[in-house]
Amino acid sequence: METAVSNSNKSNGNYDHDIIDWFESVSENAGHVQTQTLRRILELNYGVEYLRKWLGDINIHDMDACALESLFTSVVPLASHADFEPYIQRIADGDTGPSLTQQPITTLSLSSGTTEGKQKFVPFTRHSAQTTLQIFRLAAAYRSRAYPIREGGRILEFIYSGKQFKTKGGLAVGTATTHYFASEEFKIKQTMTQSFTCSPEEVISSGDYKQSSYCHLLLGLFLSEEVEFITSTFAYSIVQAFRGFEEHWKDICNDIKQGSLSPRITSPKVREAVLKIITPNPCLACKIQASCEELQNLNWSGLIPKLWPNAKYVYSIMTGSMQPYLTKLRHYAGELPLVSADYGSTESWIGVNVDPSLPPENVTFSVIPTFSYFEFIPLYRRKQDCISAIDDLVEDEPVPLSQVKVGQEYELVLTTFTGLYRYRLGDVVEVAGFHRGTPKLSFICRRKLILTVNIDKNTEKDLQLVVERGSQLLSQAGAELVDFTSHANIAKQPGHYVIYWEIKGEVDERILGECCREMDASFVDYGYVVSRRTSSIGPLELCIVERGTFKKILDHFIGNGGAMSQFKTPRCTSNQGLLRILNLCTIKRFQSTAYD
């Protein structure tokens, strides 16, 4: 999650210089800093139950930092979330003993859980909020070099605070963004900035993303001349907001004209907060209306610079599962730069974007060596010479940050201040270079396979490339892919892939059949190709769902306790609730003939 920090006045300019100098220094000595970071984590959490299980009663305080690093990586095993789950569940149930950290854990974050429908608890501490504030400041300092913004300007932020609940033991549970918005660090961020968000706290924390989105747009347009840039946690949220704007712009214009607020906003606190800000402005409403009528004829191309003429860029997480939204985001942004936000997870922040002028497809993230202790599992691709062979990933022993090589792919491993030790994150990255002495990472994909029937293995990245190939035919026909997901159907044999598309525009069924065939033929995984040729995997099925289906999936996610700021469309799902929505909303089905 990223929120903006302005750096345009003199004191902030000095602060920019100081925080960049700090990062340059720790980057220069990243290997040494990492060793010291691990020592600090282990000293702060010395004697906790999980570490004592592996380190026993060894007195680490008298050990040399390099010797401690060697000992730690040799005796503490690599772990997954399942290894920590019993400890975290005890904490959630009220166990206050030092099981994972010496510092009591009073808050738990929820991972998104959009792929399998199961959200994970992850420890969230004061350190989590402090590193969030620190990376926001650092990222803002680098952005201000490339895109200076005016003092006193505004930020149109599509940010949403989700609901919190209490565990059996009384711990607050919510998304990491929700915890951050409730933290002292967020208040510090709000008071230190020289650019201010358009929306008051009541809008951010309304708990109803539809009402919040409408108010974000209304206030952003009311203050449109002052907006310096547009941002959200994920690119999806920005695209979703502007798709909503296409439907509701007339109501927003009316609200600006009259200084009123649509009756669709039912929260008394939100209504009161918004009506304190807006006043009747018929001239502005007329100008926006004229722009929208013009934009409609252009299919809303260039919407952002047209309505926010002083905006310098659009800023959000645009890598990984957000990449499919880049086409639509560019459509709205026109020539305005898209700046990719920084690299992190619910477990820890990882790297900062020090080259904000690069397009999102080329972005790299420079590892911040003080945030966690990072290890890298080298991954190699191997193809065996038999019919059951697959392109697979072969692991080598983990290496420290100081030993990574440019061009090599790795799986990330984290040891955090919040009680996760040698935690396999599951992200596959490639080392693209170095920023002084710290690696610059390109995000490749999640290692977890999302589509597999038997010997086939396809990742989220593989699916994205296949959908891109198929949707090119869609674009040539003048239609648009709104969103997509998939499912490996093994209920009947042979099993097969099902890809669900929501599209905008009318498309001939012949073309949709060609899209289906093109996608089936575009999978390059050896196991899939062989299985299709031998009919041990059946023809790919393309299901066209009715308009609004993916909004229903979002509503289902939020209805189960999720937050808009945490939502990622699942690129593959076995969740029965989501499959029920998808299948009930399917209006057309096509079967591939690629291997007939």
List helix spans (H) across 76-167: 81-92, 126-146
What amino acid occupies position 440? K
Return all residues near 253 (Cβ < 8 A) that are at least 6 apart.
285, 288, 289, 292
List helix spans (H) across 160-267: 176-181, 184-192, 201-204, 209-222, 235-258
Q: Nearest Cα to 383, choosing from 531, 525, 536, 533?
A: 525
Number of CB atoms found within 10 A of residue 302's CB: 17
pTM: 0.80
Q: Nearest Cα to 103, choosing from 36, 39, 43?
A: 43
d(CA 203, CA 526): 50
The tokens describing 86, both together, are: 């019993």
Q: State residue 477's pLDDT score.
A: 85
Helix (H, G, I), strand (E, B) or coil at 458: strand
Peptide linkage before 494 cis (omega within 30 of 0): yes
Q: State residue 405's pLDDT score.
A: 94
Q: Nearest Cα to 485, choosing from 502, 461, 462?
A: 502
Q: State residue 191's pLDDT score.
A: 55
d(CA 505, CA 491): 32
Tell me how many degrees the CA angle 379-380-385 measures, rounded to the nearest 5: 145
d(CA 542, CA 499): 5
What amino acid occupies position 497? Y
Q: State residue 184's pLDDT score.
A: 66
Q: State residue 330's pLDDT score.
A: 94
Helix (H, G, I), strand (E, B) or coil at 61: helix
Contact 545/502 with Cβ under 8 angstroms?
A: yes
pLDDT in tens, 178-224: 766 666 666 666 555 545 788 888 888 877 888 999 999 999 999 99
d(CA 164, CA 556): 17
Q: Are strands 586-591 and 541-545 parallel, antiparallel or unpaired?
A: antiparallel
Beta bridge partners of 438: 435
Question: What is the H or E stretch that residue 496 is in?
Answer: strand 496-504
The tokens describing 121, both together, are: 């608890």
Q: State residue 400's pLDDT score.
A: 94
What amino acid occupies position 430? E
Residues in the chain: 596
Helix (H, G, I), strand (E, B) or coil at 425: strand
Backbone torsions φ then ψ of 446, nearest 5 degrees: -75, 140
Backbone torsions φ then ψ of 588, nearest 5 degrees: -145, 145
Question: What is the H or E stretch that residue 51 is in?
Answer: helix 49-55
For each successive 10 residues of the chain (596 residues), what is the average pLDDT? 35 68 92 93 90 85 85 91 90 87 83 56 82 87 89 86 77 73 64 68 83 93 93 88 92 93 92 93 94 92 95 91 87 94 89 93 94 93 41 76 92 93 92 94 80 80 89 87 90 88 90 92 85 85 92 83 74 88 93 85
The tokens describing 315, both together, are: 């800023």
Tokens 């926006």, located at residue: 288
Beta bridge partners of 340: 316
- Burial class from Cβ neighbours inside 10 Å (0-12, 13-18, 19+) for residue 237 reads buried
d(CA 261, CA 242): 19
What are the extents of the domains in the chain? 1-84+125-164+174-373, 460-591
* Average pLDDT over all residues of the chain: 85
Q: Nearest Cα to 359, choosing from 412, 403, 324, 314?
A: 314
The tokens describing 163, both together, are: 């609901």
Tell me how many degrees the CA angle 493-499-503 measures, rounded to the nearest 5: 150
- Across 508-538, b (16+ Cβ under 10 Å) vs e yields eeeebbbbbbbbbbbbebbbbebbbeeebbb
Q: Nearest Cα to 404, choosing from 423, 370, 369, 431?
A: 431
d(CA 466, CA 144): 37
Rounded to the nearest angstrom, the gap between the alpha carbon of residue 209 and the centroid of all alpha carbons in its chain is 17
